[in-house]
Amino acid sequence: MKKTKIMSLGLASAIMLVSVLTGCSSKNDGNAKPNENASPAANSEAPTANEPANEPANASTPPADPLGKYDPPITVSVIRPYDENVKFVEGESATDNLWTRKYEEGLGIKVNYDWTLQAPIDQYYQKLNVAIASNDLADIMVVSSGQLKQLAEAGQIADLTDVYQNYASDFTKKIFTDDGGLALNSATFGGKLLGLPRLGSDIDEVPLLWIRKDWLKKLNLPDPKTMADVDKIAEAFATQDPDGNGKADTSGLGLSKDLNGGFPGFEGYLNGYHAYYNTWLKDASGQLVNSNIQPEMKTALAALQKLYANKAIDKEFGTKDGGKAAEAVTNGKLGMYYGAMWTPIWPIQDGRNLDKTMEWEPFALPSADGQPTKGQVPFDVPSNQYYVVKKNAEHPEAALKMMNFYYDSNYIKGEKADTAKYDGIETFKYVILAGAPTTENLDVYKKAKTLFEANDVESMKNAKEGQLPIVAKYLEGDEKSWGYYKVFGPDGSYKVIEQMLNQNLFMRSEYFGPPTPTMGEKSSTLDTLLKETFTKIIMGAASIDEFDKFVENWKQLGGDQITKEVNEWAASR
């Protein structure tokens, strides 16, 4: 169950609109405080609708209005995915809903969907590949990083460089610079901005160690400080009957067949040995090297192999997806996992709904050698999804206006959907061009922290940041709101993330450009090789020395060429 991105990119937006979470940004996120310099909402009579999109303003041309309403209205064609879990109120649909009406009423933009697909994202990308091959494109499309590169090389999409400079609002520009320009750089080819990244908070996807605190107490075990502690706790949870039913039916450390991800992922365990999954590091000479083939990875895999042999990991994890792992949490059969900050909302909340005596606590990542452990930010964050405009679209600036409109509605004005009509429905998923400031949830936590210290529940109940009223509901006895409390509360996941941030304990990839040519061709093959080999090693079906053979194969099957291309990119900067 691939929930990571949904969770990380949608969590705060969903809550801002009083909805349910995400799973998985990353894959998976607020700057709830308005930017005082942001452009105000446009006058509905604004006469700037038909300004040339690619011509910079000059003395004789009035500045472009980032939120100017088209009069008469225009129509833009769109191709986009819908999350498979999206719901619509009666009378609404993917093509006619709250946000399609908002676009027309607020911007004078009528949305005409060429097609949408409500299915797993991989199915959407597969269908879009067919459209790209036949050049059957819409004005605005949601694409993957690989598809962005393909469209860029084929010359099928518009250059948005001047459009961005002229039409992006002050707030939009601010959030695109808060990450140092990494996301925009990933969408820039030959000096031309060819896509708009869907932003999210990368720190939302950093792995934390989550442990059943009530089981720790029952077995009289201390909080983990080292990787040896982690292993000891995992083995105890699997062998000492922490649920007290007299059966050997509990697991220590949670894993799934996917290995990586916001829940449950093995990245945090690797990080404890200073190993990192699928990212790029600088070696002693300053060259970029792939983390998957470093000696630290072999050490970490050997430790996981030993843990599995000691029955601390579900013996069938290699056949179970994230959904099955979540069932173990819900049913009270799993005691520990590495996962993102949002996991109290899913899947722990489902378990708490059945058994409110569950006590889960987040911990910073223990270390194997006493040296501080850095939690890794996934390689595809801050963005693995982009919005593009087809070449020669009549109004390429409409995409920027729609993005500005979302940020203005959600973060500057703090508007909410009709709570009676849309209660419990994730209306943020209707938005075509969306995203979130990179510090969104951290800022919400800081505000919550201030309110907790002042014991000001009333202000929390009335806060415009939608997460906080949900936290207040828990404080007033609503157990179904516990998950949000465990994210933003005094002992929640963001307390740990803030500590890691203050100590600079994040590991980000040294490569953040678009996919290189060989990445596009070989990444899938290399990923399959990695997961098959690593799974066999962990389960003891292959010797730890199989790692050395994996390294050789990885290099020969494209890894060396990718490394060369990555270093050429680094040298060109």
Report yes or no: 464 and 472 within 8 Å, Cβ to Cβ: no
331 DSSP 8-state letter: T
If asked whether residues 367 and 387 sit together in one domain, one would say: no
**Within-domain flag for 512:** no
Residues 467 and 499 in one domain: yes
Q: Cα–Cα distance between 88 and 307 in angstroms, integer?
A: 45
Residue 383 has a pLDDT of: 54
Report the distance separating Cα 262 and Cα 381, nearest Å.
12
**Residue 418 region by backbone torsions, left for phi larger than 0, else alpha for psi between -120 and 50, else beta:** beta
| Residues constituting the chain | 573
Could you give the 3-state DSSP secondary structure of residue 433? coil
**Amino acid, res. 234:** A
- Region for residue 220 given its phi and psi (left: phi exceeds 0; alpha: psi -120 to 50; beta: otherwise): left
Beta carbons of 488 and 466 less than 8 angstroms apart:
no
Rounded to whole angstroms, the Cα distance separating 384 from 179 reads 15
Average pLDDT over residues 190-195: 93
Band (143; pLDDT cuts 50, 70, 90): very high
At 428, is the pLDDT very low, low, confident or very high (cuts 50, 70, 90)? Answer: confident
More confident residue, 45 or 439: 439
Question: What's the mean pLDDT in 423-427?
Answer: 80
Residue 215 shares a structural domain with residue 119: no
- Asked whether 73 and 111 are in contact (CB, 8 A), the reply is no
The verdict on residue 484 lying in a domain is yes
- Which residues pair with residue 141 across a beta bridge? 79, 388
β-pairing, 360-363 with 208-212?
antiparallel
Strand partners, 116: 80
Radius of gyration for the alpha carbons in the chain, expressed in angstroms and rounded: 24
The CATH number that applies at residue 396 is 3.40.190.10
Among 360, 376, 392, the domain-final residue is 376
Kindly state whether residue 435 falls inside one of the protein's structural domains: no
pLDDT of residue 38: 31
335: its two tokens? 């005691």
**For residue 314, pLDDT beyond 90:** yes
Question: How does residue 13 score in pLDDT terms, banded at 50, 70 and 90?
Answer: very low
Supply φ then ψ for residue 211, to 5 degrees: -135, 140
**Contact between residue 71 and residue 49 where contact means Cβ atoms under 8 Å apart:** yes
Domain count, the chain: 4
Same-domain status, 403 and 350: no
3-state secondary structure of 303: helix
Residues 254 and 228 occupy one common structural domain: yes
pLDDT for 24-83, tens place per residue? 333 333 223 323 323 223 322 333 333 334 444 343 456 789 999 999 999 999 999 998
Partners of residue 78 on adjacent β-strands: 113, 140
- Residue 63 has phi, psi (to 5 degrees) of -60, 145
pLDDT at 49: 34
What percent of the chain shows pLDDT beyond 70?
A: 88
Residue 16 pLDDT greater than 60, yes or no: no
Residue 270, domain extent: 207-376
Residues near 340 by beta carbon (within 8 Å), at least 6 away in sequence: 4, 7, 8, 24, 26, 28, 204, 205, 206, 207, 208, 262, 263
């806060």: which residue's tokens?
463
Residues 11, 110 within the same domain: yes
Q: Is the pLDDT confidence value at 7 over 90?
A: no
Kindly indicate the confidence band of residue 15, based on its pLDDT and cuts at 50, 70 and 90. very low
Separation CA 269–CA 320 (nearest Å): 19
Confidence of residue 426 (pLDDT cuts 50, 70, 90): confident
Measured distance between the N- and C-terminal CA atoms of the chain, rounded to whole angstroms = 37
Element (H, E) at 189: strand 188-189
**Domain co-membership, 71 together with 49:** yes
User: Does any domain span residue 282?
Assistant: yes
Phi, psi of 563 (to 5 degrees): -60, -40
pLDDT tier for residue 573 given thresholds of 50, 70 and 90 = low
pLDDT greater at residue 202 or residue 160: 160
More confident residue, 25 or 449: 449
What value does the mean pLDDT take over residues 516-522?
Answer: 88
| Exposure string for 145-169, b = 16+ CB within 10 A, e = fewer | bbbbbbbbeeebbbbbebbbebbbb
Pair 72, 28 in one domain: yes
Show which of 461, 487, 507 is a domain's final residue. 507
Q: What's the average model confidence in pLDDT over 522-546?
A: 97
CA distance 274 to 371: 9
In this structure, how many other beta carbons lie within 10 angstroms of the beta carbon of residue 507?
18
pLDDT, residue 111, reads 98
Is the pLDDT assigned to residue 10 strictly greater than 50?
A: no
Comparing CA positions, the residue from 276, 281, 336 lying closest to residue 301 is 276
Q: Over the chain, what is the mean pLDDT?
A: 87
Tokens of 346: 């899913």
In this structure, the answer to whether residues 106 and 242 fall within a common structural domain is no
If asked whether residues 455 and 561 sit together in one domain, one would say no
End position of a domain, from candidates 477, 507, 537: 507
Residue with tokens 């077995």: 219
Q: Give φ, ψ of 329 to 5 degrees.
A: -65, -50
- Asked whether 29 and 12 are in contact (CB, 8 A), the reply is yes
Q: Are residues 422 and 466 in the same domain?
A: no
19-33, 135-149, 384-398, 514-528: lowest mean pLDDT where?
Answer: 19-33
Q: Residue 370, class by beta-carbon neighbours within 10 Å (0-12 exposed, 13-18 middle, 19+ buried)?
A: exposed
Query: Which of the 8 DSSP states describes residue 378?
Result: P
Identity of residue 117: L
Give the pLDDT band of residue 380 (cuts 50, 70, 90).
low
Q: How far is CA 24 from CA 181, 194, 539, 568, in A?
A: 24, 27, 24, 32
**pLDDT tens digits along 460-494:** 999 988 899 999 999 999 999 999 999 999 999 99
Mean local confidence (pLDDT), 130-146: 95
Residue 310 and residue 403 share a domain: no
